[in-house]
């Protein structure tokens, strides 16, 4: 009896080779996805923290609004600092909440291109068009946010140098502007993760998928 591996018949050798090639290709494509998995997990954790923080700030804002109305109309004791504080809390919850909304793709959109995409009959071609459309939208949003962050940073620095303070609470205004800048950088981080995910994995789930 001859030793060694038994050769496969020709009709089975080619399918087996194709299967091994497909497995090797799948492993090569899955390596970037595995490397990106920890970044997606961090992105989800960051969005959860942003949601909690924005919710707490919003509750604080509503509470101070109730106190302000009650003190003014029922106790006839105006609180000059309350309106200013409510304004700053509104700014904070808006920018921190906007970062969380970026993660779940829930910003307001004007989907003019979708009507043209729906006319594409091939599902494969339609998926490719949707993917590139989303990538283009994310790149445009990322560039806009980077420009906004650049000018916001200069604005915060000028406020720090001038030590400008609010009139009612004597509160440093650079802190308020700094919260705005923080929210912008959080949005930038989410868009970078989206682009990496869409480039390496080829998919980007919407808010119903909850990445």
Q: What is the pLDDT of residues 79-134, one digit of tens each?
A: 888 889 999 999 999 999 999 998 887 777 666 666 666 666 666 776 676 677 78
Considering only residues 40 and 93, tell me which one the structure prediction assigns the higher pLDDT: 93
Per-residue b/e over 67-95, b at no fewer than 16 CB within 10 Å? Answer: ebeeeeeeeeeebebbebbbebbebbbeb
The model's pLDDT over 179-196, given as tens digits with 9 standing for 90+, comes to 999 999 999 999 999 888
**What is the overall mean pLDDT for the chain?**
78
Instruction: Calculate ∠ Cα 194-197-203, nearest 5°.
Output: 100
């Amino acid at each position: 009896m001859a030793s060694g591996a038994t050769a496969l018949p020709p009709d089975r050798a080619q399918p087996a080779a194709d299967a091994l090639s497909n497995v090797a290709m799948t492993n090569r494509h899955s390596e970037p996805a595995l490397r990106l998995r920890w970044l997606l997990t961090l992105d989800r954790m960051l969005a959860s923290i942003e949601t909690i923080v924005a919710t707490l700030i919003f509750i604080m804002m509503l509470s101070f609004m109730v106190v302000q109305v009650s003190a003014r109309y029922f106790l006839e004791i105006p609180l000059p600092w309350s309106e200013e504080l409510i304004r700053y809390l509104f700014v904070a919850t808006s920018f921190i909440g906007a970062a969380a909304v970026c993660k779940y793709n829930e910003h307001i959109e004007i989907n003019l291109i979708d009507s043209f995409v729906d006319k594409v009959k091939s599902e494969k071609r339609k998926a490719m068009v949707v993917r590139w459309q989303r990538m283009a939208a994310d790149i445009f949003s990322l560039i806009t946010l980077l420009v906004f962050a650049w000018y916001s940073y200069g604005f915060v620095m000028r406020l720090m140098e001038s030590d400008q303070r609010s009139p009612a609470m004597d509160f440093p205004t650079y802190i308020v502007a700094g919260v705005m800048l923080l929210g912008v950088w959080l949005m930038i981080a989410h868009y970078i993760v989206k682009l990496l995910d869409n480039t390496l994995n080829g998919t980007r789930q919407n808010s119903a998928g909850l990445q």
